[in-house]
Copies of this chain bind each other. A is one copy, B any other.
């Protein structure tokens, strides 16, 4: 059994990791680190795990676990690792954004690999340290990687994506206050979202000359889970060819479905899947991409990376019943 530690155990991505680890057939939760809740039962925060998880939160790490998941606020992982050394045998998966960009990927002798299996599966299998992708970044990259691989991203891409309120985390705030958020919609960080950096990096990895702009408007949606993204860009080859390229790129991918039917956000909710729909609209290619921000966009993908690193079947513990409704 893989012994797993979870750091920052009170938050949403940690909770989702624990829900996945609780039933993972080849991993077990060794400790759940939370300074604010140390000593209390894990189920005092993640109450739905009553009967499944019997640990208390701890403020002491076990530095010899096989894998540790960092579920800290963005920018806090480096400080944590500096202060809390783990065994050289401990694999580390960071769910924050500390190590995603190549310029940040070498830290204290540890080389972090960008953990998007559909892009970097081989490298992930050999890695000891993983930078787990951002949620918007996952949705958008999966929508664009096949084009990039063929060098077909020759123009600006217009991207509009709406995220659920869990994306803002467990800490109550004005824009995640139920009276405000319900029945509402708004945008934030238009054209300036921090995920554009990692998306660009991946696109250039496949299409080195990619120079176009990603014009990205992120929205706050009136739902709790999921990201619904639409993207369009001029077609640079015929639509049949595009379909072929996507089907081929994702042909053996266990978590990505490509279709030309219209899709909706809830297809992906509560699963580790991404659904991608392709449509031709005049001279434009319109791509729709949906994921669950907490699963494929965070904790599910982290488990997927763990599975790959430890030589397990990639879908282990990730055959998740879709929400349906």
- Chain A, range 263-280, C-beta contacts under 8 Å to B: 263-271, 273, 275, 279
Judge whether A191 and B12 touch: CB under 8 Å. Answer: no
Q: Using Cβ atoms and an 8 Å threshold, which residues of chain B touch A222?
A: 221-223
Residues of B within 8 A of A235 (CB): none
A60 is an interface residue with CB less than 8 A from chain B: no
**In the docked arrangement, what's the CA distance between A286 and B16, Å?**
31
A185 interface contact, C-beta 8 A: yes
Q: How far is the CA of A23 from the CA of B215 in the complex (A)?
A: 39
Stretch at the interface among A85-93, A102-110, A158-166, A304-312: A158-166
**B172, A176: Cβ atoms closer than 8 Å:** yes
Say yes or no: A325 contacts B265, CB within 8 Å: no
Q: Is A61 an interface residue (CB 8 A)?
A: no
Known: A177-B178, A270-B323. 17 other contacts (CB 8 A): A20-B321, A48-B267, A48-B268, A158-B158, A176-B179, A178-B181, A182-B224, A183-B226, A184-B265, A187-B288, A188-B262, A190-B286, A191-B286, A222-B222, A224-B325, A320-B321, A323-B323
Contact B325 A166 (CB under 8 A): yes
Question: In the docked arrangement, what's the CA distance between A324 and B181, Å?
Answer: 11
Complex alpha-carbon distance, A294 and B323, angstroms: 11
Given contacts A19-B321, A160-B160, A324-B16, contact A186 B50 (CB under 8 A): no
Given contacts A172-B173, A267-B47, A284-B191, contact A185 B223 (CB under 8 A): yes
Among B188, B221, B294, which residue has its beta carbon within 8 angstroms of that of A324? B294
Tell whether A80 is near chain B: CB-to-CB under 8 Å. Answer: no
Chain A contact residues (Cβ within 8 angstroms of B): what range? 35 or more
A176: chain B residues within 8 A (beta carbon): 172, 177-179
Is A152's CB within 8 Å of the partner chain B?
no
Instruction: For residue A239, give the distance in angstroms from its CB to the closest CB of chain B.
Output: 14
Assess the B50–A12 pair: CB atoms within 8 A.
Answer: no
A139-157, CB < 8 A from B: none
What sequence of 0s and 1s flags, for each residue 181-217 of chain A, a beta carbon within 8 Å of any chain B beta carbon? 1111111101110000000000000000000000101
Shortest Cβ-Cβ A-B pairs, 10 listed: A172-B172, A186-B264, A48-B322, A185-B228, A179-B325, A165-B178, A191-B281, A178-B181, A183-B223, A160-B160
